[in-house]
Structures are given as C-alpha cells and as structure tokens.
Amino acid sequence: MSKQKKSENEGQVEARVDALLKKMSLEEKVGQLNQVGGAAFSPGPAAEDQIRKGGAGSVLWLNDTKKFNELQKIAIEESPSGIPLLFALDVIHGYHTIFPVPLAMAASWDPKVPEKSQSVAAKEARAAGLHWTFGPMLDICRDARWGRIVEGAGEDPYLASAMAAAQVRGFQGDDVSDSERVLACAKHFAGYGYSDGGRDYDPVYLSESQLRNTVLPPFKAAVDVGVETFMSAYMDLNDVPATGNRFLLRKVLRDEWGFDGFVVSDAFAVANMVIQGHAKDRREAALRGLKSGMNMDMSSYTYTDNAAQLVEEGSLTEAEIDELVRPILTVKAKMGLFEKPYVDETLLDKVIALPEHRATSRWSAQRSMVLLRNEGGLLPLSKDVKKVAVLGPVADSMQATEGSWMVFGHTPAAVTVLQGIRAKLPNAEVTYASGPEIRRDIPSWFENLMAGQERKPEQTPAESEAAFQSALETAKAADQIIMVLGETDIMAGEAASRASLDLPGRQEELLKAVVALGKPVFLVLLNGRPLSINWAAENIPAILEAWEPGTEGGNAVADILFGDANPGGKLPVTFPRKGSHAPLYYARNTTHSPEDSPMYNPRYWDGLPVPLYPFGFGLSYTTFEFSNLKISSEKIKLGESLTVAVEVTNTGKLAGDEVAQLYIHQKHGTDTRPMRELKGFERITPATWRKEDCDLQTRQR
Ligand code: NOJ
C-alpha cells in the first residue's frame, strides 16, 4: 500500500472510531473490553445473549466457521452499535496443517521457517473465520523443567527476537487488512519463563537488568515489526501480578516502546488477582486491571461486572475507558471487519487442501531437526535394508508428532515416524512395537481438551512387561532398529512442568535391552523440551532430535534418516545432564572463580553441571570449515556498528547448510556481562537448495 493511501486509510479509521465512541453507551464500551468464551467450560451467560446486548468485543475458544457467522450476524444486526466481533484462538504452530512446535522452529536458526509456517497457519485460520491468534509466545526460558519451554524460542534473547519478528510477520504480514492474515499476540508479558523451579504459574523474581537484557528484547522486536496485540502473563513479577503491572503495561510497553495496539489478559487473570492477593475483591481487581492499561478481560467478567460502576462512582473516568476501547475498535476498522465481517463458509476446505501447505510443513520440519550424534558417519542410512524395526511409545503417535496445543476440535492427522519410514522404504519389511506405555504421573485438565486423549487405565506391571518383551522380540527379528523415544504431547506445554528431564517410563531400560542385542540401533527423539539422555549420548552412535515436528513430521524424519535431506538445525536451548542442573544456559557471567580455575571448584561435587549438549550445537552429514575472519574496524564508538565476515567452506562430500554464529564478549565494564552473547547468525544454504526452499519443494532423490 502506498504511503498516501495508508495515511488516507488511517484518517478514515480514526474518524470511524471517533464517531463510534461518540455514540456508544458506557455499557457498550465496557462490552468491547470483554472477551467471551465459546467453549463448554467458559463461565458467563450464553455468548449469543452477551453479544446481542453489545457485551462482547471478542470471542475465544470457539472453532466453528458456521457459528462464527451466526454470532457475527447477531453482533452486526442486533447489537446496539453493530460492531463486529474478533474471533480468537490459540493457533500456535498451525491450524489444520501443523508445523513443528515453536522451540523446534527456533532450532532451524532460519527466520524464514517460522515466517512461512505462520503465514500458512494464518491463511488456514483466517479461512476458518478466525481473526486473531494468541501467538507468538515470546517467553525466554532457561529452565527445561518448565513445560511451556516448548512454545517459545528457547534461552537466547537475540535468537528469540529474530524468531519473534519472523512469527509476527508470518501471522500479520505487512497489512492487517490482508484477508489471508490474522492478528498476532505477543505473550506472555513478561517473565513467565522464569518461574521459581520451573513450576508453571509460580512467582518470578527478576532484576531489572535481567528483564531488560534477556526477557524483554523479543517483545520489543515484536513491537518493532508492528504486532497489534499483547497478552499479559499469569504470574507475579517481583510481587505484582503481570495482569495489573503498571511498570510493564504502562511504563515499558506504552511509554517507552510506544505500543499503540491493545493488551488482553490471560484467561481469567483479571479476577485471579483476587486469588493472588493483589486485590481485595473483583471490583478492585477490575480497577487495577483497567488502571494499568489492560484493555481486554479474557473471560473473567470482572470488567463487565464492575467497570461502569467504577466510572459512575468516580474511581475511573469515561475518558480512561475510551482510551482502552479505542485500540480495539481501531484494529477492527483497520482489518476491514466493518466492511467484510463474515467468512465465506466454502473457503476452508479449499485452503487446507493446498499441497504447498504440507510441503511447507515438511520443509519446516526438515530444517528444524538437530543431529546430536553421528559417530563414524553412520547416518544417513541406506535404503537397501531388508528388515527394520521401529520401536518406542511415540513412534506411531500422531499426537506426539503434532505436539502441544492441538485443542478445540483439532483432529490429529500427522504422518508418524513409523509411517514416514514405511513410505520411504517400500521394499523393506518395517516392523513396529511400542514397548511399555509412557504417561504423566499426575494428569492435567488440559488432557480433556485434546482429541483422543481420554486417560486410559494405567498398564499393569504384567502388561508393561509383555509390551517390553514384544518390543525386544521385534528388535531381535530385524537387521537394524530405529528407536523413537521422548515425551508425549501432554508432557510439555501448559501445566506440564516436571522435576526430572529423564526419558519418562521404561524407555531407557528398553533402549539398553535393545542395544544389548548387538544390532545397529539409531535413536530419534520426539519431545518438546531438552531431555537428559546421558546414557544414550554415550551409547547410541546416531541421535536425531526431531522435536514435535508436525503434520509431515514422520516424512521429514525419514527424509533425514535416509539421506534425502541433510540436517542443519542447532539447539536453541542447553541440554542439561540433570533436571536439578536447571536453570542452565550458555550466557552466564564470568565469576570470580571461572569454571576452569582450580580455586573453589567444582560447582557441584556430585556431577559437573556441564551441558550434555550446548546451545548452538548441531551436526551435519557434511563438514564445514570457517576461515578468513575479517572485522571492519578494530574499535568502534558507542552507537556505531561494525561488520564481521567469515568464509564458510563445505569440506565434506555432501551438500549441506551451516549456521554461522557470532558471539561477543565484553572484556570489562561497570555492569559485568555474559562470557558469550549471541549477536548475529546466518544459516548459509547452498544456492541450489535456496531455489528449492523458495519453491517449497522437499529435496527428494
Ligand atoms: C492460557 C494460556 O496461558 C495462554 O497462552 C492462552 O493463549 C490462553 N489461555 C487462551 O487459551
């Protein structure tokens, strides 16, 4: 859009919003600040009734195209000012076509991966009638015990900022009136990834320097590329709930960064300030939320029940309410919802059938995988194999392949690793056994939201043993064994933290028993967090970290195992050797007694907290040499920049791509800084592949 056209549009949008605010009643304005839940568990009166009286600005937790049009019709034709609704859902890594989880996409170290993937997610979600996704999740996390590490981009602010910007561009594009895009939401503002002990929702204590140097940069990157909405975090930050935190929501977000979109609370979080002890009752919670600049109340009805009265009694002015409503109306107008509020109900089927969506998913998954070990170049495997056994509880699990957030009517449909290998080896006999089940010791209520996840009775010891023996028998009859181990989708994500990072259940025991057979064994990991696979790291010569790779995950794993794609991803998080070593991350300050000095060491006497795999690590089927490093100037002044160039040569036999990573170190200063800080990176891809990347072809031989 030209500059002139843009400012004309902005003028029209502003005029429309002014006119609306003039005619809306106070109740209707408060209605715009209310987000109504469309799921069975949502509190409050029927959505239709709330919408009809102008009591809703947005609806969430509904995934039903026809129903969207029905509700929109009520809003447009029956509510007092006919303001369209925003339909919102958690489309975190795909709507119908599922992409690798965000942690995996960050492992690509290629911002094109999240950008293209989220643009497909946006196109599908919009075709379904959604306008707004609750992503990207931008919480830096250095503690692998925290379940939600799967939703973010890992431990590093620089890498995460690049991924944040890419995801926002993917969801929103450059123009929110684009009918193939959705609004993005930068969440959870801020600090949620630092909860005490990695326990979900627990309080967070962060110094301002940690906050500004580590936690806030991805959010700032999202603002810089024009993210339209923010979501606040659940927990207390330095003893003030993020939901009512004026420092975050006013000082940093609005005053310092100039954010002019709107903020939604996390679910029920405004009312929950009463439980947290920050407000004496719902009325005070509403006041704190509104005063701190929290525009929209996600389904706690605290604003609906109290805001008008707060204005009437003089605790709040109507102008303050207008200030909160304005950005919500503005975004609706900018999107063109007043002109085009309905979705074409025939569109979704056509959009989800587009073959390039699956191709993008396969490409994304290939680029996200990280080769952790490949002793003696055992991988890639030959396709001339007669009998392969594929073993493990996640080897044929669509849910584990798709990963977290497959909620609200999503039907699992991923190609599993077993299916991918079978498709790759049409002439081989590919056998399968799951081995003993794995399960959470303690369920979470989220399990009920996932399709096909009804909790089955636990395997008895005899059933578990029978499954173990059957896996061993299957292994005995094969020439080579591919073990697919890790976690199920509900073992990472919200309310899915754990104290241990070991492979759950009897997986390691099975791995050891299979290795003892003396046959070639390869390991594929499906998981949403770092796992302390210490025994495997020493005893299994070839290990591929496949994460939760999405719809085409099984095909992408097979592409890599059998050499049709060369892995080039790098870890976006440190893999600790034990859960109790967390938080563990690379960008630590140098202490008075550095880890290599003999004085006052070791850090623990019962096992060194050196990572099992460090941040930035990942192998390839080929080798690279870095040479000829050049720096444009020896010294620079504050505010100036310099260029660092290096030659990267593929010294192996296969085509491959490599990530050049630039780290800096401040030698001294009044504030000490980490020993290494990532400040630049580029995934260098051979020209012959780049064309294919653009065409979104998979590299098939
Ligand atoms: C709770 C989660 O913390 C948040 O990430 C999500 O977007 C909302 N619920 C809405 O489902």
Q: Residue 691: is its pLDDT beyond 80?
A: no
Tens of pLDDT, residue by residue over 130-152, are: 999 999 999 999 999 999 999 99
Tens of pLDDT, residue by residue over 178-235, are: 999 999 999 999 999 999 999 999 999 999 999 999 999 999 999 999 999 999 999 9
Distance (Å) from CA 663 to ligand 1 centroid: 34
Q: How confident is the model at residue 386 (pLDDT cuts 50, 70, 90)?
A: very high
CB atoms closer than 10 angstroms to residue 573? 29
Distance (Å) from CA 267 to ligand 1 centroid: 6
Burial of 570 (0-12, 13-18, 19+ CB in 10 A): buried
Tens of pLDDT, residue by residue over 350-379, are: 999 999 999 999 999 999 999 999 999 999
Q: Residue 635: is its pLDDT beyond 60?
A: yes
CA-nearest residue for atom 3, ligand 1, is 266
Mutate to test the pocket of ligand 1, among 130, 202, 231 (most ligand atoms within 8 A of CB): 231
Q: How confident is the model at residue 290 (pLDDT cuts 50, 70, 90)?
A: very high
Helical axes 157-172 vs 112-127, angle rounded to 10°: 30
Q: Quick one: CA dihedral 398, 399, 404, 406, positive or negative?
A: positive
Tens of pLDDT, residue by residue over 580-593, are: 999 999 999 988 88
Longest dimension (CA), the chain: 80
> Using a 6 Å cutoff on CB, does residue 148 contact ligand 1?
no
Q: How confident is the model at residue 598 (pLDDT cuts 50, 70, 90)?
A: confident
Identical fold between 357-581 and 624-698: no
Q: Contact 243/232 with Cβ under 8 angstroms?
A: yes
> Using a 6 Å cutoff on CB, does residue 134 contact ligand 1?
yes
- In this structure, what token pair is assigned to residue 571? 């870890």
pLDDT value of residue 696: 46
- What are the boundaries of each domain within the chain? 357-581, 624-698
> Using a 6 Å cutoff on CB, does residue 90 contact ligand 1?
yes
Distance (Å) from CA 113 to ligand 1 centroid: 24
Q: Contact 65/111 with Cβ under 8 angstroms?
A: no
Catalytic residues: 266
pLDDT value of residue 36: 97
Q: How confident is the model at residue 40 (pLDDT cuts 50, 70, 90)?
A: confident
Distance (Å) from CA 150 to ligand 1 centroid: 14
Q: Residue 699: is its pLDDT beyond 50?
A: no
Domain 357-581 sits in which CATH superfamily? Glycoside hydrolase family 3 C-terminal domain (3.40.50.1700)
CA-nearest residue for atom 10, ligand 1, is 267
pLDDT value of residue 44: 84
For residue 514, which of 486, 562, 480 has the smallest C-alpha distance? 480
Mean pLDDT in residue range 563-568: 97
Mutate to test the pocket of ligand 1, among 266, 405, 444 (most ligand atoms within 8 A of CB): 266
Q: Contact 557/420 with Cβ under 8 angstroms?
A: yes
CA-nearest residue for atom 9, ligand 1, is 267
Q: How confident is the model at residue 599 (pLDDT cuts 50, 70, 90)?
A: confident
Q: Contact 576/611 with Cβ under 8 angstroms?
A: yes
Q: Residue 450: is its pLDDT beyond 80?
A: no
> Using a 6 Å cutoff on CB, does residue 189 contact ligand 1?
no
Tens of pLDDT, residue by residue over 233-256, are: 999 999 999 999 999 999 999 999
In whole angstroms, what is the distance from residue 7 CA to residue 10 CA?
Answer: 5
In whole angstroms, what is the distance from residue 238 CA to residue 233 CA?
Answer: 13
CA-nearest residue for atom 2, ligand 1, is 266
Mean pLDDT in residue range 604-611: 92
Q: What is the mean pLDDT of the chain?
A: 95
- Minimum-distance ligand 1 atom for the alpha carbon of 187: 5
633 SS3 class? coil
For residue 561, which of 422, 686, 431, 394 has the smallest C-alpha distance? 422
In whole angstroms, what is the distance from residue 121 CA to residue 99 CA?
Answer: 8
Q: Contact 526/547 with Cβ under 8 angstroms?
A: yes
Distance (Å) from CA 494 to ligand 1 centroid: 8
CATH code for residues 624-698: 2.60.40.10
pLDDT value of residue 692: 53
Q: Quick one: CA dihedral 62, 63, 66, 69, positive or negative?
A: positive
Q: Residue 260: is its pLDDT beyond 80?
A: yes
Cα separation values, 315 from 12, 271, 288, 302, 310, Å: 33, 18, 11, 15, 5
What percentage of residues in the chain have a pLDDT greater than 90?
90
Burial of 670 (0-12, 13-18, 19+ CB in 10 A): exposed
- Minimum-distance ligand 1 atom for the alpha carbon of 61: 11
Distance (Å) from CA 643 to ligand 1 centroid: 41
What percentage of residues in the chain have a pLDDT greater than 70?
97
For residue 533, which of 575, 497, 580 has the smallest C-alpha distance? 575
- Minimum-distance ligand 1 atom for the alpha carbon of 134: 7
- Minimum-distance ligand 1 atom for the alpha carbon of 233: 3
CA-nearest residue for atom 11, ligand 1, is 90
CA-nearest residue for atom 7, ligand 1, is 134
CA-nearest residue for atom 4, ligand 1, is 266
> Using a 6 Å cutoff on CB, does residue 494 contact ligand 1?
yes
Q: How confident is the model at residue 694 (pLDDT cuts 50, 70, 90)?
A: very low
